[in-house]
Chains A and B, each alone.
Chain A
Amino acid sequence: GNSVTQMEGPVTLSEEAFLTINCTYTATGYPSLFWYVQYPGEGLQLLLKATKADDKGSNKGFEATYRKETTSFHLEKGSVQVSDSAVYFCAPRGKLVFGAGTILRVKS
């Protein structure tokens, strides 16, 4: 079956700290992988994606590398800001399933 496992939150960091949010998946084939972000009071929006193994997606200082051998797509950012406080969702393309979401809180 298709499923996504994300690290549980909330994750609380100080501004400029390093961020990692883990995501592993099981899916038929090797689909593209997405990270979506949900800011307070809003719907989800695409943050970044990777279309094949070893591909790296990046946007707004966030990066994630598609690791086929470990079926992982961990989200990273070198220096988080208060404005990054949001809920982050991992999802494989085309499977209509999402991870449970990881709440990130960044303190100034």
Chain B
Amino acid sequence: DADVTQTPRNRITKTGKRIMLECSQTKGHDRMYWYRQDPGLGLRLIYYSFDVKDINKGEISDGYSVSRQAQAKFSLSLESAIPNQTALYFCATSDSLAGGPDTQYFGPGTRLTVL
């Protein structure tokens, strides 16, 4: 079984709808991340969480919110989806080593299309 899973894998929705993307991990890591990937722009950080009670905004948090329900679960919500949020979304985890996040382990991604 995969260490980091994301659901759904694909989603098509309409402008204005509320969408939740879910991420679960079995690696036992404290740190979890949400990124979006757009062609030519690489990965950009949306939100990150270093433990269950810690939530931090990333580079592009506007229009998104997150919830860290447990050590193993980190969900991303789009309160009112808009077309420019069409992208590939990745969840990732890492261990909590001194010196900052080390190797990140990524889920398979969720392809979201907002019409």
Enumerate chain A interface residues (CB-CB to B < 8 A).
31-32, 34, 36, 41-46, 49, 89, 93-101
| Residue among A32, A34, A36, A94 with the highest chain B CB neighbour number at 10 A | A94
B41: chain A residues at CB < 8 Å are 100
A28 to chain B, nearest CB (A): 11
> Which residues of B lie under 8 Å from residue A45 when comparing CB positions?
105-106
Comparing B12-20, B67-75, B76-84, B95-103, the segment that makes contact with chain A is: B95-103
Q: How far is the CA of A31 from the CA of B78 in the complex (A)?
A: 33
**Interface size, chain B (Cβ < 8 Å):** 22
> How near does chain A come to B114, taking the closest CB pair, in angstroms?
21
Given contacts A43-B4, A44-B106, 12 further A-B pairs with CB under 8 A are A32-B99, A42-B108, A42-B109, A43-B90, A43-B106, A44-B43, A89-B43, A93-B99, A93-B100, A93-B102, A94-B101, A95-B100
Instruction: A32 to B94: give the CA distance in the assembly, Å.
Output: 15
**Which residues of B from 39 to 71 have beta carbons under 8 Å from A?**
40-43, 45, 48, 58
Which residue in B33, B42, B99, B108 is a CB contact (below 8 Å) of A96?
A: B33
Partner of B103, one of A42, A46, A89, A101: A46
Which residues of B, 1-31, contact A by the 8 Å Cβ criterion? 4
A42-B108, A43-B108 known; A101-B42 Cβ under 8 A: yes
- Smallest CB separation, A105 vs chain B (Å): 15
Which of the residues A42, A97, A100 comes within 8 Å of B45, measured between beta carbons? Answer: A97
Q: Which residue of B lies closest to A44 (CB)?
A: B106
Instruction: Collect the chain A residues with CB atoms within 8 Å of residue B99's CB.
Output: 31-32, 93-94
Contact A100 B102 (CB under 8 A): no
A-B interface, 3 closest residue pairs, ranked by CB to CB distance from nearest: A94-B100, A43-B106, A100-B42
